[in-house]
A and B are shown apart, each in its own frame.
Chain A
Amino acid sequence: QKEVEQNSGPLSVPEGAIASLNCTYSDRGSQSFFWYRQYSGKSPELIMFIYSNGDKEDGRFTAQLNKASQYVSLLIRDSQPSDSATYLCAVTGSYIPTFGRGTSLIVHP
């Protein structure tokens, strides 16, 4: 069974700090990697996607992928209280996304 593992947290960081969220996956054939943000009681929304090894930056967010280590991460720079949410890692092989349990991030003023 394909597995996606995340530390459930909560991860607590001060405002302005860098938050680092990590995810590992079991299926070496995985092709696409996604980070979704989910506020309490709401549906997930896409933050970043990455396909190739290395880093991909979009504003305050950087996704990092290492296929050899089966590891994907999300860095949030200059964290804001509005970033407080659960971050879901999703891994896709053959168009079927598998989600991790999510990491709860708390950014305190």
Chain B
Amino acid sequence: DGGITQSPKYLFRKEGQNVTLSCEQNLNHDAMYWYRQDPGQGLRLIYYSQIVNDFQKGDIAEGYSVSREKKESFPLTVTSAQKNPTAFYLCASSPWTSGIGDTGELFFGEGSRLTVL
């Protein structure tokens, strides 16, 4: 089945550690996104990528890094510079075109919950 796979679902990090969240999609979508969600909050954009080998900062990129070496993959690294990383992280994808039938809908993975010990 086509979809987006995020791993791990749950992750614990010690102070000072970098951790990487995986996101893989087989929908052949051009665009991929990383959002962060805190309790009672909406989704805040961390990074997005429209094409391979290119990505842009979102509203809260500080302390995070990404890569887009393959169309299918968009991993997110939470670095030790991110002072409050405990949150629910959501990866999403969408077609980047405005062709007929393209709703602009985001397709989400199941999310990764990161907790700092």
Contact B105 A46 (CB under 8 A): yes
Contact B104 A92 (CB under 8 A): yes
1/0 per position for B64-94, CB-CB distance to A under 8 A? Answer: 0000000000000000000000000010001
> A34 vs B42: C-alpha distance in the bound complex, in angstroms?
14
The residue on B at minimum CB distance from A89 is B42
Contact B104 A45 (CB under 8 A): no
1/0 per position for B7-50, CB-CB distance to A under 8 A? Answer: 00000000000000000000000010101000011111100101
Residues of B within 8 A of A101 (CB): 40-42
> A66 vs B42: C-alpha distance in the bound complex, in angstroms?
22
**Count of B interface residues, CB-CB < 8 Å:** 23
Contact B110 A42 (CB under 8 A): yes
1/0 per position for A1-17, CB-CB distance to B under 8 A? Answer: 10010101000000000
Contact B48 A43 (CB under 8 A): no
Residues of B within 8 A of A81 (CB): none
Contact A99 B42 (CB under 8 A): yes
> A11 vs B69: C-alpha distance in the bound complex, in angstroms?
44
Residue B63 at the chain A interface, CB threshold 8 Å: no
> A34 vs B35: C-alpha distance in the bound complex, in angstroms?
16
Decide yes or no: A34 and B104 within 8 Å by CB, A96-B48, A101-B40, A101-B41 being known contacts.
yes
23 cross-chain CB contacts under 8 A: A4-B42, A8-B40, A34-B105, A36-B106, A43-B109, A43-B110, A44-B108, A45-B108, A46-B103, A46-B106, A49-B104, A49-B105, A92-B104, A95-B50, A95-B96, A96-B48, A97-B33, A97-B45, A97-B106, A99-B35, A99-B42, A100-B42, A102-B41
Question: Could you list which residues of chain B lie within 8 angstroms of chain A, going by C-beta atoms?
Answer: 31, 33, 35, 40-45, 48, 50, 59, 90, 94, 96, 103-106, 108-111
